[in-house]
Amino acid sequence: MSQVYHGRGYVYSIQYHIVWCVKYRHKILDTIRENKLKEILNKIAKDNQFTILLINGDLDHIHLLIECSPQHYIPDIMKALKGVSARLMMKQYPQLKRKLWGGHLWNPSYFVATVSENTEEQIRNYINSQKEK
């Protein structure tokens, strides 16, 4: 069950399930790149003061379960996660630029859904099962 936090004059528990894909659905997130991406995403979350509870994905997409405060705005979170991670991944793996012409690592769209205590376990199981398909 998610934790309940207390702010100044409010109480909250906010979690989101977020998914986005590699541009052109290219299968580039092998184990080494995925581990580097996880490290980068956790650093971005720390810098932006939200928490990544769970990360997993497959070769062409990534799933996150995040927890944040009411002050966080999803488009800003996505801009930070996708923009910074793309820049750092392209810097770390310059060969990706040749495979993903145009220099874009991520598809511009994403999926986001709120998570309740009724759905949290289902979403955690779904994210953890990504490589089992």
Q: What is the secondary structure of 58-107 as a DSSP string? A: ETTEEEEEEEE-TT--HHHHHIIIIIIHHHHHHHH-THHHHHSTTS--B-
Q: pLDDT of 1-57, one tens digit each?
A: 678 999 899 999 999 999 999 999 999 999 999 999 999 999 999 999 999 999 999
For residue 1, what pLDDT is reported?
61
For residue 45, what pLDDT is reported?
98
Which CATH number goes with the domain that contains 9? 3.30.70.1290
Stretch 57-81: mean pLDDT, rounded?
97
pTM reported for the whole predicted model = 0.92
Domain that holds residue 118: 5-132
Number of domains making up the chain: 1
Three-class DSSP category at 12: strand
Given a cut of 80, whether residue 132 has pLDDT beyond it is no
Q: pLDDT of 71-98, one tens digit each?
A: 999 999 999 999 999 999 999 999 998 8
pLDDT interval class at 103 (50, 70, 90)? confident
Which residues are designated catalytic? 126
β-pair type (11-12, 14-21): unpaired
40: left (phi over 0), alpha (psi -120 to 50) or beta: alpha
For residue 82, what pLDDT is reported?
98
